[in-house]
Chain A
Amino acid sequence: MDAAKMIELTPLDLGIAAFLLVALAACSVILQLNLAQRLVIAAVRTTVQLLLIGFVLRWLFAVQHPGWVLGLGLVMVLLAGREVHARQRRRVQGIAGWFVGTGAMLVSSFVISIYALTMVIEAEPWYAARYAIPLLGILLGNTMNGISLGTDRLTSLCWQQRAAIEQRLLLGQGRDEALRDIRQESMRAGLIPIINAMAAAGIVSLPGTMTGQLLAGAAPLDAVRYQILIMFLIAAGTGFGTLLAVWQTGNLLFDERQRLRLDRLQGEG
């Protein structure tokens, strides 16, 4: 077969790669681009964070306990939830706004992960950290993007089009009817990145999972099959997560008498 053994990287190899960043930072200083500091901090962060998660995963793979897998999964969801909340220009006040995004992410990424682990990958045991954690991670990362794009679009459009929404209510439309166009538009905003990624996969870019597996020595067609699986899971997770979040955020902007309540939104800044 055309599979090969993975070539291991030494610290020296990484140092050679880091030299490129040092060169870039030097250019930035010479040209006064004001990028050097941020670039260095980001590079250090990525090194430290990835090393830490590497140690965590090594330990997690060794203990092989479902409780720890679940625990790490929940921590990842909470961090992603904070990120979604932070990315909103106008967010729903109080715990409800945070809960909608985080809850949608939790439900969609956990359900899709468990579905894939038990019915598709069928590792032994199915919750094996080697499969569960990377899968959950890639799902969360993408779902997080979809949900934050979708809800951000929803709240912005409601803010801009409040007069039109209220006019529709005045003509006797219900909440869901008055919101229909805005919800459609918000769903589109959340899903466009993954739809584009699927459409361009293999033509314009080699997606990450496949690249990783090829570098790790997998046979091309095995890598492709995994990539297709991952794409489908991401699309489903992002789609269902964004749907839940967009739907529920829309509901939060109305009260029990179906009045538009933009006073429930916190302003920019």
Chain B
Amino acid sequence: MTPAPLLRVQGLCFLDWGPIDLDLDAAEVVAVSGSSGSGKSLLLRAIADLDPHRGTLELEGKGSEAFLPPAWRRRVGLVPAASEWWHDTVGSHFVDADAQWLEALGFSLEAMRWPVSRLSNGERQRLSLLRTLSVQPRVLLLDEPTASLDPDSVERVEQLVDAYRREHGAGVVWVSHDAAQRQRVASRSYVMSDRGLVAEVN
């Protein structure tokens, strides 16, 4: 008997999407693309149990309903395309900040004292990723995590996610519009089309 995958999505339906199946192994990266409005973000929201859905979500063989909702979302961490900040300073959004990770994305611990209002879009995006990593999720759901970054930062983010994935055996679902990026980071690629998820043919 093969061990259960890290994340199993089976017969997932939300709004008029689905059914969608997806298995994700530990330390595996799967890319998802699709035109805007095709439902990529909705898919990630459903997997994070943020939107009502039907079908099965399992983490290491255990169904999502067996977890308290906050516990599920800490293990299946979604980084949305647009990040939200509700306190005044960056640091008050973090459970704890890892200096090494901060450095990997070009920040120092000093960034924790920055007021949120001075952040650029790119800084918000990178700090938002770090904020989710600080919760140490088992599965990372990344919604276009490099959309507003310069090439150098894109590379840093890719390297950090790669390091996190290896170190923690975390699985990653990476939504990206960039075909070259999908090639670089993922072992398998899928496309959202016709309200479903289909394997991408190269």
Contact = CB atoms under 8 A, between A and B. Distances in A.
A166 B51 CA distance: 10
Most chain A beta carbons < 10 A, residue from B80, B83, B86, B93 = B86
A169 B135 CA distance: 12
A255 interface: yes
B50 A169 contact: yes
A225 interface: no
Nearest to A254: B69
Interface stretch (A117-125, A170-178, A201-209): A170-178
Interface of A: 161, 163-164, 166-174, 181, 255, 257-261
A161 B86 contact: yes
B165 interface: no
B131 A171 contact: yes
Given A161-B86, A167-B80, A167-B84, A172 B49 contact: no
Given A164-B84, A167-B80, A181-B86, A172 B50 contact: no
B32 interface: no
B50 A168 contact: no
A174 B49 CA distance: 13
Contacts of B70: 169, 172-174, 258
A254 to B, nearest CB: 9
Contacts of B48: 170
Contact of B135 (A172, A257, A258): A172
Interface of B: 48-52, 65, 68-71, 73-74, 77-78, 80, 82-86, 93, 131-132, 135
Contacts of A260: 50
A171 B69 contact: no
A170 B69 contact: no
20 contacts: A161-B86, A164-B84, A166-B84, A167-B83, A167-B84, A170-B48, A170-B77, A171-B73, A171-B74, A171-B93, A172-B73, A172-B74, A174-B68, A257-B52, A257-B65, A258-B69, A258-B70, A259-B51, A259-B52, A261-B52
Contacts of B68: 174
Contacts of A258: 69-70
Given A164-B86, A169-B50, A255-B52, 17 more contacts: A163-B82, A163-B84, A164-B85, A166-B84, A167-B80, A167-B84, A169-B69, A171-B132, A171-B135, A172-B135, A174-B68, A174-B70, A257-B49, A259-B49, A259-B52, A260-B50, A261-B52
B86 A170 contact: no
Contacts of B77: 170-171
Contact of B50 (A161, A164, A166, A181): A166
Contacts of B71: 172
Contact of A170 (B50, B52, B65): B50
A169 B73 contact: yes
A241 B131 CA distance: 38
A236 B184 CA distance: 63
Nearest to A181: B86
B62 to A, nearest CB: 15
Question: Of residues A164, A167, A255, which shows the largest number of chain B Cβ atoms within 10 Å of its Cβ?
Answer: A167
Contacts of B135: 171-172
Contact of A259 (B69, B84, B131): B69
Nearest to B94: A171
Nearest to A168: B86
A163 B85 CA distance: 9
A174 B86 contact: no
A166 B78 CA distance: 11
A172 B83 CA distance: 15
Most A CB within 10 A of own CB, among B49, B69, B83: B69
Contacts of A173: 70
Nearest to B48: A170
Contacts of B86: 161, 164, 167-168, 181
A60 to B, nearest CB: 51
Nearest to B79: A170
Contacts of B80: 166-167, 170
A155 to B, nearest CB: 18
A115 B74 CA distance: 46
Q: Nearest 8 pairs between A and B by C-beta? A: A172-B74, A167-B84, A258-B69, A164-B84, A164-B86, A174-B70, A172-B70, A163-B84
